[in-house]
Chains A and B, each alone.
Chain A
Amino acid sequence: MADGELLTAELIIEYPFSRTTGPVIGAFFTALREGFIVGIKASDGRVLVPPFEYDPITSESLTEMVEVGDAGEVVTWAWVNDPLEGQPFDRPFAFALIKLDGADTPMLHAVDVADESAMSTGMRVQARWRAEREGHINDIECFAPVDGGAS
């Protein structure tokens, strides 16, 4: 048009994706539903949590699943002041890589503390389980500091 008015419109891409898991990922989610955590032994003997179907170094199929603890240590973390839609909390929280007891690699999840000053690398945290669980990463609501704080 003469005034060159530019249009915009909302475009929404939405789908209720349903993902088949295969046996390894399925076992991890089954355990979450039951309230515990499993990992898998890598070719070099390390216990990977969450469990991967294929070795991250050799690419061999991995098969030996083992139970690990639901508490562990924060390896590194980020303080999310202003969470995005869909993230574990709509108030400030930390994303952290957490190495669980019995695991050799850390997993990503949220840590719930009042403010950033309560976070530190090396702190001990424990899974806070949801009451209603379906076999999903969100069956763990988050991790929270173990009483007594740092390890």
Chain B
Amino acid sequence: MRDVAIISLGQTDHARERNDVNDVEMLMPVLADAMKAANITKDRVDFVCSGSSDYLAGQGFSFVTTLDAFGPWPPISESHVDMDGAWALYEAWVKMQSGHADISLIYAYGRSSPGDIRRVMSRQLDPYYTAPLWADPVSLAALQARAGLEAGSFTEEQMAEVVAASRRNAKANPHAQLSGDAEAKALLDEDYFVSPLHKHDCPPITDGAACVIIAAGDVARELSDRPAWIRGFDHRIEPNALGVRDLTTSVSTRQAADKAQVAAGGVDVAEIHAPFSHQELILRDALGLGDDVSINPSGGALAANPIMAAGLIRLGEAAARIGRGEADRALGHATSGVCLQQNLVCVLEGE
């Protein structure tokens, strides 16, 4: 494979609601930050790929006008996925493998504040059997959590520990929405939200955006002191219906991790896209991560969850640890769909 590396990350200061800006206004400074960090101007970008969802925006073709944030003139080579930006990064990486581009810019954005996000996300379910019940992602994650708890896969104490660690880690992340010194024990005393989940087991409602720049070979070396080389990259999907899946594990994550060769060399840091606390426990297990791995030093999706960008941010954050010399081998993970239906794993290395 051609050597391709993540060389920079830009992101918003994630917030509960960003009604002070439209999507273009929200994206412009994020793209500018990422390009500045990579020491490039837009004319050096060969390919642009973005991720967003019309359903979050409440408008068809919402991505069409947000492309203006890049200033696509003269015309550019560009594509868009209705998926988390981590998959946009995958598409750009593929494009670079076939030699079409040396520098790609990937961005993603999402707002959860404009609609009732649980009702909006219920439109993701199969349209015949479950969407008409308006089953929502929190309720379905709660079904998953109970299945795991009752199977003995994890405990409520471990779930609270995940939340406490996220809040603690997020104190060092200036972009995080939720951070602080939460005691797991105190968290367990809080009321249930959708039992067996507490509110803190669920992701915050976030408006935000992110941008990642990747570059190939010597171009990456020119632009970055320590590029985070993509050494393994894969994604897999499971059946849609919850009833035919084992909710207590993540088969597709395991498959992607195998293909991305996570085990061959271990990792120092893992940024895991787990919107719900118990999902981090399921994913750690599926990724085969031991206790010595630093998990979600950014705070993860529990600290800020701009839907459609949260996975891309995990890859960017994992790369940033390598860039800063804090890790030599890092893992970025992204998920999509209800109860971890689809998962992506990216292994990054410094040299």
Chain A residues within CB distance 8 Å of chain B: 6, 8, 11, 13, 17, 19, 21, 25, 29, 48-50, 52, 56-57, 75-81, 84-88, 95-97, 105-110, 116, 121, 136-138
B189 at the interface (CB under 8 A from A): no
Known: A78-B143, A81-B195. Contact between A105 and B243, CB under 8 A? Answer: yes
Q: Does B192 contact A84, Cβ atoms closer than 8 Å?
A: no
How distant is the Cα of A25 from the Cα of B241 in the complex, in angstroms? 14
B118 at the interface (CB under 8 A from A): yes
Q: Does B192 contact A25, Cβ atoms closer than 8 Å?
A: no
Among listed B67-75, B91-99, B132-140, interface-contacting one:
B132-140
Among listed B40-48, B123-131, B225-233, interface-contacting one:
B123-131
Chain A contacts for B142, CB-based, 8 A: 78-79, 95
B244 at the interface (CB under 8 A from A): yes
Q: Does A80 contact B129, Cβ atoms closer than 8 Å?
A: no
Chain A contacts for B58, CB-based, 8 A: 11, 13
Q: Which of A13, A81, A109 has the largest count of B CB atoms less than 10 A from its CB?
A: A13
Chain B contacts for A79, CB-based, 8 A: 142, 192, 194-196
Q: Does A76 contact B139, Cβ atoms closer than 8 Å?
A: no
In the complex, which residue of chain A has the Cβ closest to the Cβ of B239? A56
B242 at the interface (CB under 8 A from A): yes
**Shortest distance from the beta carbon of B190 to any chain A beta carbon, whole Å:** 13
> Among B20, B116, B196, B243, which residue has its beta carbon within 8 angstroms of that of A106?
B243
B146 at the interface (CB under 8 A from A): yes
In the complex, which residue of chain B has the Cβ closest to the Cβ of A13? B58
Digit string of B182-209 for contact with A (CB within 8 Å is 1, else 0)? 0000000000111111000000000000
Q: Does A96 contact B143, Cβ atoms closer than 8 Å?
A: yes
Chain B contacts for A77, CB-based, 8 A: 143, 146
How distant is the Cα of A19 from the Cα of B242 in the complex, in angstroms? 22
Q: Does A95 contact B241, Cβ atoms closer than 8 Å?
A: no
Q: Which of B193, B196, B239, B241 has the largest count of A CB atoms less than 10 A from its CB?
A: B241
Interface size, B (range): 35 or more
Digit string of B240-277 for contact with A (CB within 8 Å is 1, else 0)? 01111001000000000000000000000000000000
Q: Does A84 contact B116, Cβ atoms closer than 8 Å?
A: yes
B100 at the interface (CB under 8 A from A): no
Known: A108-B133, A108-B135, A116-B195. Contact between A97 and B150, CB under 8 A? Answer: no
Known: A56-B239, A105-B244. Contact between A75 and B133, CB under 8 A? Answer: no
How distant is the Cα of A108 from the Cα of B125 in the complex, in angstroms? 11
Chain B residues within CB distance 8 Å of chain A: 19-20, 58-59, 114, 116, 118-119, 122, 127-130, 132-136, 139-140, 142-144, 146-147, 150, 192-197, 239, 241-244, 247
In the complex, which residue of chain B has the Cβ closest to the Cβ of A119? B195
Q: Does B146 contact A78, Cβ atoms closer than 8 Å?
A: yes
20 of the cross-chain contacts (CB-CB < 8 Å) are A11-B58, A11-B59, A21-B128, A48-B243, A56-B239, A56-B244, A78-B195, A79-B192, A80-B139, A81-B195, A84-B119, A84-B122, A85-B134, A88-B133, A97-B242, A97-B243, A107-B243, A108-B130, A138-B132, A138-B133
Q: Does B19 contact A6, Cβ atoms closer than 8 Å?
A: yes
> Among B129, B147, B193, B244, which residue has its beta carbon within 8 angstroms of that of A81?
B193
> Among A49, A78, A96, A137, which residue has its beta carbon within 8 angstroms of that of B132?
A137
Chain B contacts for A96, CB-based, 8 A: 143
Known: A56-B241, A84-B119, A136-B132. Contact between A75 and B140, CB under 8 A? Answer: no
Chain B contacts for A95, CB-based, 8 A: 133, 135, 139-140, 142-143
**Shortest distance from the beta carbon of B206 to any chain A beta carbon, whole Å:** 18
Q: Does B242 contact A108, Cβ atoms closer than 8 Å?
A: yes
How distant is the Cα of A32 from the Cα of B10 in the complex, in angstroms? 52
Chain A contacts for B59, CB-based, 8 A: 11
In the complex, which residue of chain B has the Cβ closest to the Cβ of A85? B119
How distant is the Cα of A39 from the Cα of B122 in the complex, in angstroms? 24
> Among B20, B129, B147, which residue has its beta carbon within 8 angstroms of that of A50?
B129
How distant is the Cα of A148 from the Cα of B19 in the complex, in angstroms? 53
> Among A29, A76, A116, A138, which residue has its beta carbon within 8 angstroms of that of B247?
A76
Q: Does B147 contact A78, Cβ atoms closer than 8 Å?
A: no
Chain B contacts for A75, CB-based, 8 A: 147
How distant is the Cα of A107 from the Cα of B128 in the complex, in angstroms? 13
> Among B19, B118, B133, which residue has its beta carbon within 8 angstroms of that of A110?
B133
Instruction: Sort A-B residue pairs by CB-CB distance and give the 6 closest, nearest first.
Output: A78-B142, A86-B134, A56-B239, A79-B195, A76-B147, A105-B243
